Chains A and B, each alone.
Chain A
Amino acid sequence: MITLRLAIRNVFRHRTRSVITLAAIAFGCTAIIFVGGFFEDILYRMQESYIKAHTGHLQIYTRGFFDKGSARPFSYLIDHPDDIIALVKKVPGVVSVARRLQFSGLLSTGENTVSCFGQGVEPDYEPSVRLTDRSAAGRNVALLGGAIIESGEPLNANEPYHIILGRGLAKGIDAKPGDGLILVSHTIAGSINAIDATVAGIFYTTSKAFDDYAVRLPLGTTQQLLQTESVQSLVVMLRRTSDTDRVKLTLRELFVQRHLSLEVKAWQELNDEYGKSKAFLWRMFLILKAVVATIVILSIYNTMNMAVVERTSEIGTIMALGTTRQGVWQLFLLEGATLGLIGGCLGIAIGTAITLLIRHVGIPMPPPPGASMSWISEPVIVPSVLVFSFVLSLITSLISSFFPAYQASRLSVADALRHA
């Protein structure tokens, strides 16, 4: 007990020095807590915007489509989706199941003709937001709401020949809302078909590559153009993204039980970019952690080393009084641990406060790679990162006191006592 008291009081003996050391630890923790929360927010936005605008949480196809469908898309259609939809909708956590039918085609204004990627969707289930519609979900609605209607109107189930164009595509053929266009495609039987359509609106998503080619139109119209009753994929939206893996497993089991030749893919599998960005960001985070750990270790080492040198005659005294070498070692380790403990607590408090403050203000961000919209990041507090930064400051403080404590315990008692 007296050892603990001694350790704590020794820590506060040199106020300025201890305050500087504690500040270094707290600063390191703050950096980790903030950057962890910032990266977490970036990944979360990336994940959610992609889910809403592109993939949904899960997609269901005829078995084989995912691997071979790009070459022969119409060989893997789902012929009677209604039973499957009813089945999927019963799984807890599922919010909606939307049908999609995709094709490649040509889009013509009469003067200009460009190739395009058509996506037949159910307007009621595919989220889209008007850029002006910010009140509903705050300033970052643009990021979480799915496709963003830049001008004009979104798709409307009651207007079968109204289509919306990706921003890049619209620019390429100089199309505006209200313009009439001709959309040409192969039917699934192989002949050519075309429809007259009106541009309802221009949209964009987080993926510029998609916006440069995409046309979205109502599913019924697409089926008419391709002359089929079938669909290609079912897009499943869940209440919570964290349910993805569970629902995926349930669906798989369900399909096996019912002998349905279907496959289920989760959003992570459909979004290659997300996985890579995540790996990239966590690698950078790891480097930051290593840098912080090094700074903390050096600053505590310096403090502890000075303490041992300054207190040489005290060390001699307590050893003369019968304190063992191990006792001296423990005393200095305890001092280091006290620094780490206090620094870690301060770090958590300051890190949380600063992160929340920045979250409140928001960080204006440039568009992510491959995207076209700037946005505002709101860093979050990640509990596991809080725990990590605390454990890090404790462990690094023990590591960096280890050697000074060892040196203290190895001092010759006589020499230490003669030390002025």
Chain B
Amino acid sequence: MTPLVEVAQAAKEYWLGKVRVPALKGVDLVVKRGEFLAIAGPSGSGKTTLLNLIGCIEMPTSGTVRIDQVDIATRSSDELAVIRAVKLGFIFQNFNLLPVLTALENVEYPLATRDISSRERRRHAQEALASVGLATFERHKPLELSGGQRQRVAIARAIVTQPLIILADEPTANLDHKTGQDILALMKSINQQRGTTFIFSTHDQKVMQMANRIVMLSDGQLARAA
């Protein structure tokens, strides 16, 4: 089976004025369909940067990133937007729900450009929200939900498009320990039931242990594969 994600010698540099900041220094990573992969590493090690490359949000300075066999460097920003909309789902540390929309509308948002009836859109969103256990919170605005509930809404928003890969950058960092583990357990059950590939970053040892595989980043390089 061909790998879903192939990162080969990927490097990423930023410029702070005239100072070169190497965030990633030649990373090789292959992720197969159905994996539940953790990226661990200290702050500033490049976790977010690596996830952004895989998420087609940033381009590598050198090296290649292939998502479902597509070299992302060869695609325009609109084509990348389509890849993100169709193949990828995102979960963020700060939940990043749109505050003016209700929970249901937030989950519906990624379907906005899909060529399906609004009723069908609504039904998909309701199903996704129900599958994270928030069927009764459809009309709540994000500010009326707890952190854990917000992250569940974000998970529903990520799965509603049935993506191949869900990328989660420190999904539990803003949650207490218990809630964080519940969120991870929810992600894991989605991974097992639907076969969706998950790649998430974390500092948290306990959270890390729930992964099938952990890769360690340190100073922009993969330290070892466990």
Contact = CB atoms under 8 A, between A and B. Distances in A.
B147 to A, nearest CB: 17
Given A320-B84, A322-B81, A324-B81, A2 B112 contact: yes
B101 interface: yes
Contacts of A413: 57-58
Interface in A114-151: none
Contacts of A75: none
Given A321-B110, A413-B57, A6 B92 contact: no
B86 A317 contact: no
A10, A13, A318, A322 interface centre (most CB from chain B within 10 Å): A322
A90 to B, nearest CB: 66
Contacts of A320: 55, 57, 84, 90
Interface in B79-96: 81-82, 84-86, 90, 92, 94, 96
A319 B81 CA distance: 7
B118 interface: yes
Contacts of B92: 317, 417
B85 A2 contact: no
A322 B58 contact: no
A326 B77 CA distance: 11
A1 interface: yes
B118 A1 contact: yes
Contacts of A325: 77-78, 81
Contacts of B137: none
A314 B57 contact: no
A1, A321, A326 interface centre (most CB from chain B within 10 Å): A321
Given A320-B90, A417-B57, A2 B108 contact: yes
Contact of B98 (A317, A322, A326, A418): A317
A380 to B, nearest CB: 42
Interface residues of A, number: 25
B109 A2 contact: yes
Contacts of A374: none
B98 A318 contact: yes
Contacts of B113: 322-323, 327
Interface string B67-80: 00000000001100
Contacts of B1: none
A414 B90 CA distance: 13
Given A321-B109, A322-B86, A413-B57, A6 B81 contact: no
B52 interface: yes
A79 B78 CA distance: 85
A132 to B, nearest CB: 66
A6 to B, nearest CB: 6
Contacts of A318: 98, 109
Nearest to B121: A2
Contacts of A9: 100-101
B170 interface: no
Contacts of B77: 324-325
A6 B108 CA distance: 12
B130 to A, nearest CB: 20
A1, A313, A317 interface centre (most CB from chain B within 10 Å): A317
A272 B82 CA distance: 67
Contacts of A324: 77-78, 81
A219 B167 CA distance: 100
Contacts of B48: 418
A3 interface: yes
A295 B22 CA distance: 47
B6 interface: no
A327 B81 CA distance: 11
A239 interface: no
A5 B85 CA distance: 20
Contacts of A314: 96, 98-99
Interface in A325-343: 325-327
Contacts of B109: 2, 318, 321
B39 to A, nearest CB: 16
Contacts of B85: 321-323
Contacts of B52: 414, 417
A9 B48 CA distance: 31
Contacts of B105: 2, 5
A3 to B, nearest CB: 7
B175 to A, nearest CB: 18
Nearest to B87: A322
Nearest to B58: A414
A2 B160 CA distance: 16
A6, A318, A327, A413 interface centre (most CB from chain B within 10 Å): A413
A13 B100 contact: yes
Nearest to A317: B96
A3 B112 contact: yes
A282 B108 CA distance: 52
Contacts of B90: 317, 320-321
A13 to B, nearest CB: 6
5 contacts: A2-B112, A3-B112, A10-B100, A314-B98, A325-B77
Given A6-B98, A320-B55, A414-B58, 13 more contacts: A1-B118, A314-B98, A317-B92, A317-B96, A320-B90, A321-B110, A322-B82, A323-B85, A323-B112, A324-B78, A324-B81, A325-B77, A325-B78
